[in-house]
Amino acid sequence: MSELNHGTNIPENERRPTNAPGESGNRKRWGLIATGLVGGSLVALYAVATPFVTPALRKVCLPFVPATPAQVENVLKVLQQRTGTLVDIGSGDGRIVIAAAKQGFRAVGFELNPWLVWFSRYRAWREGVNHSTSFYISDLWKVSFSQYTNVVIFGVPQMMAQLEQKLQADLQSSARVVACRFPFPTWAPDETAGEGIDTVWVYDAKAFKTPRAGSERGTTSEN
């Protein structure tokens, strides 16, 4: 029997054990810690998940779907005879940029999702190619690709027409473009590699930079 129950009128069999001094303070502290942990975890979850979810809310939804190993292999195959700079537009976790750097390219990735950019930098460092790779947190529509001689894109069909126009304006005629999984709508590919979802289409800029006979830009006008 607790000493604290002495002197009360409550019958002994109805008396509840009284908290030891300090016990309610301890409980409050643990309550605060638990609330802090749950709140902190929710904030962290929100911060990590948001960049992966927001692409779905954009006009053109380009989600993070990493290239398959066969896809990466096909990209490298069609770039075997090429040198210089390479850009992966929407570089995801950096796998194409890193693989290209290992093949001797000075390789760059532009990616909207900061977590993927930080992870790509970490991967590049771990795989020893951090000096020949760069990753930027950028919106692909706000970047000029004019300085790159090799361009890789794993996009979605809804964006390819607009990207075709952008690359046509941005790139020099020495550039080569590789489209993964989805081809460009009006350019004629110079080459393809792989099959099914791993297909890549190759476009040499000299073909799409040269105005086609009879096209609006190709027709010389006296007016």
> Given the rule CB under 6 A, which residues bind ligand SAM?
55, 62, 64-67, 88, 90-92, 95-96, 110-113, 116, 139-141, 154
- In the bound complex, which residue of the shown chain has the CB atom lying closest to ligand SAM? 90
For ligand SAM, which is the closer residue by CB, 30 or 141? 141
CA distance 60 to 62: 6
Q: Give the nearest distance from C-beta 138 to ligand SAM in angstroms.
A: 6
Distance of CA 183 to the CA centre of its chain: 20
Strand partners, 88: 109, 152
Nearer to ligand SAM, 30 or 46 (CB): 46
Residue 175 tokens read as 């550039």
86 has which bridge partners?
107, 150
Q: Which residue, 55 or 84, has its beta carbon nearer to ligand SAM?
A: 55
Least Cβ distance, residue 92 to ligand SAM (angstroms): 3
d(CA 220, CA 200): 35
Q: How far apart are alpha carbons 196 and 184 in whole angstroms?
A: 16
Query: Cα 114 to chain center, whole Å?
Result: 8
Question: Please, what is the minimum distance in Å from the beta carbon of residue 125 to ligand SAM?
Answer: 18
Q: Which is nearer to ligand SAM, 110 or 208 (CB)?
A: 110
The nearest distance, CB 88 to ligand SAM, in angstroms, is 5
